[in-house]
Structure 1
Amino acid sequence: MRALIAAAIGLAVALALVLTISAIGAPSGHTSPKPLLTTVPGPTK
């Protein structure tokens, strides 16, 4: 029974955290116009 109560409390805390983060909204900012390099550039010709 204690495990069920602990699981319910943990679920309620997780749900409250998700709702709080979604209520605050995404942080404002901008993205870089330059693309990210995922590989090492080849030699220049």
Structure 2
Amino acid sequence: MRALIAAATGLAVALALVLTITAIGSPAGKTSPKPLLTTIPEHP
């Protein structure tokens, strides 16, 4: 029974944290206009 209570408490804390982060929103900032290189450029 203690394990069930601990699991429910942990789940409630995690859910509260997610909802808090969602309510605050993403931090203000801008993304780089340059695309990220995902491959190694070929050498001649």
TM-score class, shorter-chain normalisation, is 0.7 to 0.9
Q: Identity percentage over the alignment?
A: 80
For 1:4 and 1:32, the matched residues in 2 are separated by 46
RMSD (CA atoms) = 1.1
Structure 1 runs not aligned, ≥5 long: none
How many equivalent pairs are there? 44
Distance 2:38 2:20 in 1: 34
Aligned to 1:14: 14
TM-score normalised to the size of structure 2? 0.86
